[in-house]
Copies of this chain bind each other. A is one copy, B any other.
Amino acid sequence: MKIVVDAMGGDHAPGATIEGVVDAVNDFHVHVAVIGLENEIIKELEKYQYPKELIEIIHAPEVVGMHEPAAVSLRRKKKSSISLGLDLLKQSSQYNAFVSAGNTGAVVSAATVKLRMMPGVDRAAIGLVIPTLKKFSFLIDVGANTAPKHQHLVQSAQMSEVYVREVLGVASPTVGLLNIGEEETKGSDFEKETHKLMEEKVKGFIGNIEANEVFSGKADCIICDGYVGNIVIKISEGLMESAGTLLKREIKKSPLAMLGAFLMKTNLKHIKKYADYSEYGGAPLLGVNGIVMIGHGRSSPKAIKNAISATMREVDHNIIEAMRKEVAV
């Protein structure tokens, strides 16, 4: 197995990316091809010890900025690490997957154009494993398709059911539609129609899930449009950050609180770790003919390492074949 990793993707690239790659290589003995500005990659790699034969360096002379419009980068930067990395995945059976914490829009556009959609799927969607009180759920879409049609949501639901079963090992995943009420009569006409279609076409469909139940673990797969999914993720991030800031302010108020926080240190760390998406790897881009994993823009080395580990599970479980077989044409 060899995984192509975009060295230039992410706010802390290439430093964080390379460190994550080295950790993954040392821990999992996986073959990685890092793609990006060769000089910078070599400079970073020199800092670490690792089995040289496990890391291949591929030069890509162009870099897509984190905030560049996707369409422009696709047209103008044909030799970026994203573009060339996906070309590799398409053209050579030697490479099994592509991981990037770079510009999400650029990765989605390039993957869609280069790898094409799998039969029966019209639009790509990004899934994300989120922590819940039970264990985890799979939220899809978190930002690829911000104005989906009914069938796109149905297809995302079908793909996620296969993904959670095959890659995450849940025997019979339940699938819920994120909506503003539990009853099937709730939401706009769009949600009502989607609900009806899902009842017909989606294995494991259990109906609407209200937003306050997302983190309770009521459904294994939670389906929503990319706009709402992105809001869900960012609201949660922002709220946990604000709660953390608030906690720190409170702790500073009194020596007793400080002592209390000290005694709870391990426990507070557990909660922080639990709520930290980077613990759960990256966000798989589903629907294209190839394994593509998108990392958080703020990816730490640990996040990169965990994204590689999650990608390895996808390759091991041959997720593309499994989806192709099950997603209705």
Interface residues of A (CB under 8 A from B): 67, 69, 132-133, 143, 146-147, 178, 180, 183, 185, 187-190, 210-216, 226-228, 230-243, 245-247, 250-251, 253-254, 256-257, 259-264, 266-268, 270-271, 274-275
Q: A133-B242, A263-B263 are in contact. Are A211 and B235 (CB under 8 A)?
A: yes
Closest CB-CB distance, A138 to chain B, in whole Å? 16
- Quick check: B243 and A214 within 8 Å, CB to CB? no
Number of copies: 2
Most chain B beta carbons < 10 A, residue from A146, A180, A241, A270 = A180
- Quick check: A227 and B188 within 8 Å, CB to CB? yes
A185 (CB) vs chain B CBs: closest residue: B69
Q: A216-B238, A230-B180 are in contact. Are A257 and B263 (CB under 8 A)?
A: yes
Which of these, B226, B228, B268, contacts A228 with CB under 8 Å? B228
Q: A215-B242, A261-B260 are in contact. Are A231 and B267 (CB under 8 A)?
A: no
Q: A212-B235, A242-B132, A260-B261 are in contact. Are A228 and B227 (CB under 8 A)?
A: yes
- Quick check: A183 and B67 within 8 Å, CB to CB? yes
Most chain B beta carbons < 10 A, residue from A187, A261, A267 = A267
Which of these, B215, B238, B262, B264, contacts A211 with CB under 8 Å? B238
A267 (CB) vs chain B CBs: closest residue: B250
Q: A243-B271, A246-B271 are in contact. Are A146 and B187 (CB under 8 A)?
A: yes
- Quick check: B238 and A240 within 8 Å, CB to CB? no
- Quick check: A263 and B271 within 8 Å, CB to CB? no
**Can you list 16 contacts pairing A with B, beta carbon distance less than 8 Å?**
A69-B185, A211-B231, A211-B232, A212-B241, A213-B238, A214-B235, A215-B241, A231-B232, A232-B235, A236-B239, A246-B274, A247-B271, A250-B267, A251-B267, A257-B264, A264-B264
